[in-house]
Every structure is written in C-alpha cells, then in structure tokens.
Structure 1
Amino acid sequence: MKTLWKITLGGLLLAALSSAWAEQPLGCVEVTVGGYKAPNYDCLSQQMGNNPDGAAAAQKNQEALSMPVYKRPPNQVGLATPAATSTRMGNTFGTSVKPQRPPN
C-alpha cells in the first residue's frame, strides 16, 4: 500500500511540475555552429512584436509613407529650404557663394 501511495504521490508531483514548466514562457535559444552564433529570429520577432504601441506606430509609418513625395515638405525630402540656407550662409546669403565664417 505504501508503494502505491508513493507512486501516486510521485505521479501527481511530476504532473504538477510539468504543468508549471509548460506555463513558463520559453526563452530564445542561440545555437553555435562552427563558432558562429545563429539566433532564433522567429522567437526574437515574437518578443519584439508584443509591444501594444507597435501597431499604432506601424500605422503612422504607413500613413507617412503613403503621402506622395511631391506633397511633402522640402525638409522631409532632404531639399534645402531658404531658411536653412540663410542660416548656413550667414550675412553673405544672396551676395556670395562662400558662407560666412567667424574670424580666426
């Protein structure tokens, strides 16, 4: 009877430990082959994709990219604006091709 009790108790303990082990989130596994590390990119993508603000940020990115280039402001496209050029050239803006430099 004691043996049966020990087997039953051991089985219940093993079942409880295995269910607790299964509930814990598994970490990402990195494998080293020939001295090179090969991370599990699927696991890393899932970990990075659990950001609740990520969907809103992705939607804003898509909205920004959907605007045609010719409708974007020049500073977003990388073009020089008169204000930026005036700041860079200083008091020689419109009179010289050499920017103003402070005296040595």
Structure 2
Amino acid sequence: MKLLPTLAGLLLCAGLPLIAHAEAPPSGCTEVKVDGYKAPDYGCLSQQMGNNPQAAKAAQKNKEAQNVPIEKRPPNQVGLSTPAATSVRMGNTFGTSVKPQRP
C-alpha cells in the first residue's frame, strides 16, 4: 500500500515541469507583477527588437533624411524669422508700426 502513494507522488512531480514550462511567456522575456501592475523586462525586449537585420538599412535612411541641405531647410531651423513669428511678435502693430507689441 505504500507503493501507490509514492508512485502517485512521482508521477505528479514528473508533470510539474511541463505545467510550469507551458505557463512561461513565449517571448523569452519575464514579466513581473507588483501590486497587480505588470513590469516587463525592457532590457530583454529592446535586445529582441535590436536583432533585426534590416535595422542598419533603416538607420542609414533615417540619417540621410535628417541631413537635409541648408537651402532646403525651413527658415525657423536656420534661424530666420517667418511671417507667422513676426506677426506674433509684432502683435496688433504688425504692418502699422516699427515698434513691436512684444519684445
């Protein structure tokens, strides 16, 4: 009679790793719950996102898009005043006086 509970305990213990493994997240990253709030492992997630082979091409295209020649940049990026900015600065005196409403 002692053999039956021992055998049942062994079978139960043998099935536990399968149950625990089935509940693990499929992404390989662990999520921690603290007071009911989930806190994902951002280091793991960013590492997974960084393994994209096309990421280098995308980064190169982003750099090329940011390197706009100076003659094609908007005036406010170059340091010039735009009509809208001048209108805001001059206020109600725009077009009627040389003294701005706002300095």
Question: What TM-score, normalized by structure 2, do the two folds share?
Answer: 0.47
Question: What TM-score, normalized by structure 1, do the two folds share?
Answer: 0.47
